Chains A and B, each alone.
Chain A
Amino acid sequence: GDSVTQMEGPVTLSEEAFLTINCTYTATGYPSLFWYVQYPGEGLQLLLKATKADDKGSNKGFEATYRKETTSFHLEKGSVQVSDSAVYFCALRMKTSYDKVIFGPGTSLSVIP
């Protein structure tokens, strides 16, 4: 079945370090891909999205490119800040009989000063 795999956390980085969170997916069709962020005790917020191959989503310095050939959607940021500490979820959305969104397990990021 359709699924999303993310790199295991927690990830701990120093401020201004480069961030990569890997995300790969398995899908029978042609999904849209999303990254959501969850700050402690809050709901999820959309960070960025891409709806077709080679699309690059970007927001707040974060970027991810939809790679159909490698079925990947890795999240990157050139210089992380303490305020980026959160849990990051990769997700895919198919147009199935009931429009299911499939979330990865989440990757916890801690940025230390």
Chain B
Amino acid sequence: DGGITQSPKYLFRKEGQNVTLSCEQNLNHDAMYWYRQDPGQGLRLIYYSQIVNDFQKGDIAEGYSVSREKKESFPLTVTSAQKNPTAFYLCASSITSYSNYEQYFGPGTRLTVT
């Protein structure tokens, strides 16, 4: 079955530690995205990548970093510089950047930092 996997589903970290969230897709999609969702709020774009070895900042990139070394993988690192890292993180992908195509979402990772 094609889809997007995110692991782990729940992640707990101590303040001051960096943590990397995994996102893998086997849909052969070129574009991948990371969103953050806070309780009762919509999605905010962190980073996106349109092709391998290229990525751009979204609206709230501060305190986050990404890499796109393979088409299938787009890991997100939440660094200690992110002031409020506790949130639900969603990875998405789409065929291309063109507007007719929808995004496909992974199941999400809930990160709790204490």
Contact = CB atoms under 8 A, between A and B. Distances in A.
Contacts of B105: 36, 43-45
Interface string A22-53: 00000000011010100001111110010100
Q: How large is the interface on A (under 10, 10 to 19, 20 to 34, 35 or more residues)?
A: 20 to 34
Contact of A98 (B48, B90, B108): B48
B56 interface: yes
Contact of B100 (A32, A36, A45): A32
Interface string B28-42: 000101000000111
B48 to A, nearest CB: 7
Contacts, number: 58
Contacts of A106: 40-42
A104 B43 CA distance: 8
Contacts of B92: 43-44
Contacts of A43: 4, 6, 90, 92, 105-108
Contacts of B50: 98-99
Nearest to B56: A98
B61 to A, nearest CB: 12
A2 to B, nearest CB: 12
A104 B42 contact: yes
Given A43-B90, A89-B42, A51 B99 contact: yes
B31 A100 contact: no
A106 B45 CA distance: 15
A10 B92 CA distance: 26
B110 to A, nearest CB: 8
Contact of A32 (B45, B48, B90, B99): B99
B103 interface: yes
Interface of B: 4, 6, 31, 33, 40-43, 45, 48, 50, 56, 58, 90, 92, 97-100, 102-108, 110
Interface of A: 31-32, 34, 36, 41-46, 49, 51, 89, 93-95, 98-101, 103-106
